[in-house]
Structure 1
């Protein structure tokens, strides 16, 4: 058994996956589009948008798609356990571009270098780098 997150976007799945690729998290390794190869489009507005994508990188794996009835993302976050403080800072700053920082990156009371943000696509990220 393996648990994976599945992110639902209204119509910005592709720009989100491109952004995560530029941040260095990995890349989309599988993309199926509405209306391609006999896949139903649902509506003309969804034709060509991402029906299903698999995103992978070192230590990262999740799925994503566009859904015109998607609810806003809430109540869940991607938690990345990092092993290098400089890499944590670099990735945090990249993911924060156009988003909102909810917990500034810094040493927390439990001793880890940690921060939390919501990116420009509404996805919450928690980056934690244990300092021991």
Structure 2
């Protein structure tokens, strides 16, 4: 058994996955599109939008799609357990571009270097680096 997140975007899944690739999290390993290769189209506005995608990188696996009736993301966050402070700072800075930092990266009472943000697509990220 493995737990993986599934992210639902309204119509910005492709842009979000490109952003996560540019941040250095990994890359898309599978994609199905509405209206391509026999895939159904719920409405014309969704044609060519992402019906299902798999995203993978070192220690990262999640799925995502466009869903024009998706609820706003809330109540869940990706937590990345990091082991390199410089890499943590770089990734945190990239993910924060256009988003909102809710807890700046800093040493925490539990002894780790930690920060939390919501990216420009509404996804919450927590980076924890055991230093």
Scaled by the length of structure 1, what TM-score is found? 0.99
User: Secondary structure of 2:127's match?
Assistant: strand
- Aligned pairs, number: 131
Scaled by the length of structure 2, what TM-score is found? 0.99
The separation in 2 between residues aligned to 1:39 and 1:11, in whole angstroms, is 17
The separation in 2 between residues aligned to 1:8 and 1:50, in whole angstroms, is 10
User: Secondary structure of 2:16's match?
Assistant: helix
User: Secondary structure of 2:80's match?
Assistant: strand
Which string of whole-angstrom CA distances, capped at 9 and with x for unpartnered residues, describes residues 48-86 of structure 1?
Answer: 000000000000000000000100000000000000000
**Alignment RMSD:** 0.3
Q: Counterpart of 2:46?
A: 46
Q: Counterpart of 1:79?
A: 79
Unaligned segments of structure 2, at least 5 residues:
none
Q: Counterpart of 1:21?
A: 21
Which string of whole-angstrom CA distances, capped at 9 and with x for unpartnered residues, describes residues 23-51 of structure 1?
Answer: 00000000000001111110000000000
Does 2:99 align with 1:99?
yes
Does 2:92 align with 1:67?
no
